[in-house]
Every structure is written in C-alpha cells, then in structure tokens.
Amino acid sequence: MPSVSIVKCDTYELEKVYHAIHKSLTLINSGDRLVKPGMKVLLKINLLSSSQPPERAVNTHPIIVRALVNIFQNDFGCEVSIGDSSGSVKNSSTFHAFRVTRINEIAEDTGARIVNFDKDEYLDIHNKGYEVVDKFRIAKTLRTADLIVSVPKLKTHGLTQYTGAIKNMLGTIPGNGKKNIHLIAPKPTVFAKALVDIYQMVPPHLIIMDAVVGMEGNGPNAGQPKKVGLILASRDSVALDAVASNIIGFEPMAIPTIRFAHQRGLGNGELDTINIAGESISNVTVPDFQKPSSGAQDFAGKYLPNFLLSLMFDNTCSTFSTVNHSRCTQCYECVRNCPAGAMSRENGKVLVDKKKCIGCFCCDEVCDFEAIQMKRSLLGRTLLGMAKALGVEKVE
C-alpha cells in the first residue's frame, strides 16, 4: 500500500519548511532508506512562468527548493542539481524563470547545480507501452541522476483540472518538444493520456509537493494564490495526486491523469487503499478552493460511467482562446508559443483563429497579463448552468 504524508506548514519560513519536509520524509520512511551519501539528486521543480514572482504561486517556491537543497546536501551528503524547462518555448525563458524565482541565487549560495533542460544534452525516449506518445526527447540529466525528486506546486489547471506530480514530468521535455505533445494530443483526455505516457517513462523516485500556498481558479498561470498550509510527500505520484486533489475538493478518479495512471498500474489513485501518514485528509481539506471554470466534468463524474465521462470531458469542456485587448500589452509571447499556429498579429492586435485553436492553454500559460480568456463551448456552459442550478457542485 503506498504512503502519502501530510504535514502542516503555514508559512515559507526556511526553518519551518525544513522541519516540515523532514517530518514528511520520516513519515513515509523515505529518508535514510532511500537516500545514500554521494548520490546525485535532481530536484525536478515546477517552473512555468519566467516573470511571475514567488508570491503569485505559479512556480515552486524558492524556500521549498532551498530547504530541499539543505536537506540533501547537508543531512545526506548528496550532490544536488535543480532542473526544469519552463512552459514557454522562448529560448531564454527557463533561464529567466530561474532568475525571477531567485533559485539561481540558491545555487550560487549552496553550490547546487542549475540545469536548464532547454540547454542540456538530450536523449530520445521510445515508449513501447504508449497510448498516445511513442517517442519524445528528455534532458539527459534525468538519466544520469541517481534520485529524481519531483517538486510540483499544488494548482488547478484549465485543461487537466488539476496539475501535480504526474503532470510535472512534462517539464522533462525541453522547449519546443512540449509543443509537439499538444499537437499530437489536442483533446483534453488524449492530452491526459499523453502526460501519463511521459510519466511512465520518467517517473520520479520521490515527490515533495509545495502546497503551502497553492493556486486556485484558472490555474496554472492565471488563477489566484490560496493558502493550503501543507507539505505532502510520497514515492507514488498517483497516490500523492489523489490525496492532494482530494484536499482541494476533487474526486481523484474524475481527474483523467490520475484515473489513467491508476488504470495502467503506474500507481494507486484509490484513496481507501492509500496509507495516509500525519494529518488526515478531513482535517486539512480546503472546502472553498475554487476550481477552474472547466469544472463541468466534476458534476458529470457523479453520474456517468468512465467512457461517457471521457466523451463529455472532451466535448463539453474543450475551450478556445480569446484575447482581452484592454489587458494585452502586445508582447506576442502567446503568438510565439501557440503550437497550432492559431494566433497571429494584425495591425498590432493579437487575433485567434477559432477553427485552428486546440484549446491547449499554452497561450494562457505564457501570458503574464491575464489577457487570455479561455472560453467554454455552449454545451459546456449549459452543463455548468445545470450544475449550479441543481446545487450539486460548487462551480465557477
């Protein structure tokens, strides 16, 4: 039975975070048993934006990273690297994300090594057990590390509802490669299967989730910071995602990444077969955590079998992008990052071709001015209206 530890941590004070992470590792018995002196430890953090500061809750908080570096370097005598490829395909964005989060300063202070996956050597991965993505490219450091520690941020996500440990491994693919995944998997459930394909080939050994302050609403970039006050740890990403998503009010098996990974035997997403160590879920639930505006499938998930749920997920919850021109600064980062070529400029204005838009949220993820609005289909809006009218689900 997999274990997930839940430890309270109400602030990003280094000492409190350090003790909370230590406790979370002890509770799942993953300190000395898993980590040995001299190991090469890679912290695979969650960097999305290259310009949002830590208090916006978009990226893994730097204090979490600093505490982890201290633990693995000083307590276990390991060699630590910190790596990721941010959400944007712009060449320098991962570099900027390390600077904006001041994680580069942690590296300078401690001697930990920053690995910008966009600039790393790469390896081609072939997945024989794939459902959607048979081959993709990852940063080579992922294969030279002895211990991969995934450090996701607890956030909602407009396309996948929830983003956590399973989805964090998408960032192992350097720059442009992530665009290809969106093109191969344009529908939400297919994209979730693609994420599970990637996770299957690059599973972390240990997961420490930054849930001190999460992001609610229209995550992963345009939502609002929300205090959750927790550190979660596990060796099973699927179990950790099941517990974390449930704390913020989701039914875990209604989250496609969790359901598909569980069905493939890559981990355990059923709450009643997970050993919870530390706080109980009921003790730390955040009942008013706002879901993304694509919350219709939660409502549907109460009544429909899985295959109908997937159909509904794709057909009613698909979105298309629109631009709020009063907020748009005409930086064109969205145009550069649109994998479907659905965005263009005309007389300085950003235009979206609805017919080409695959609703991948890439533009939303890179827009730092909340100028992108993802809109629901008419059927999706109708379903949300029904859910609200019946009062069976709190949806926004």
Positions that interact with ligand SF4 (CB under 6 A): 321, 323, 328-334, 338, 340, 342-343, 350, 352, 357-363, 366-367, 369, 371-372
The 3-state DSSP class for residue 111 equals: coil
Considering the complex, what minimum distance in angstroms separates the CB of residue 137 from ligand SF4? Answer: 21
Distance CA 22, CA 11 (A): 15
Alpha-carbon distance of 319 to 349, in angstroms, equals 21
Give the three-class secondary structure for 189: helix
Contacts (Cβ under 8 Å, ≥6 apart) of 125: 135, 136, 137, 138, 201, 202
SS3 345: strand
Amino acid at 313: F
Q: Considering beta carbons, is residue 196 or 342 the nearer one to ligand SF4?
A: 342
The residue (of 45 and 338) whose beta carbon lies closer to ligand SF4 is 338
Amino acid, single-letter form, for residue 193: K
Closer of 4 and 357 to ligand SF4 (Cβ): 357
Give the nearest distance from C-beta 188 to ligand SF4 in angstroms. Answer: 12
d(CA 241, CA 166): 7
CB of 193 to ligand SF4, least distance (A): 18
C-alpha angle with apex 374: 364 to 161, nearest 5 degrees?
80
Write phi, then psi, for 229 (nearest 5 degrees).
75, 35
Q: Which is nearer to ligand SF4, 273 or 329 (CB)?
A: 329
Closest contact distance (angstroms) between CB of 221 and ligand SF4 is: 10
**Cβ proximity to ligand SF4, 210 vs 314, nearer residue:** 314
CA distances from 305 to 262, 309, 387 (A): 16, 6, 18
Which is closer to ligand SF4, CB of 284 or CB of 372? Answer: 372
CB of 331 to ligand SF4, least distance (A): 4
CB of 323 to ligand SF4, least distance (A): 5
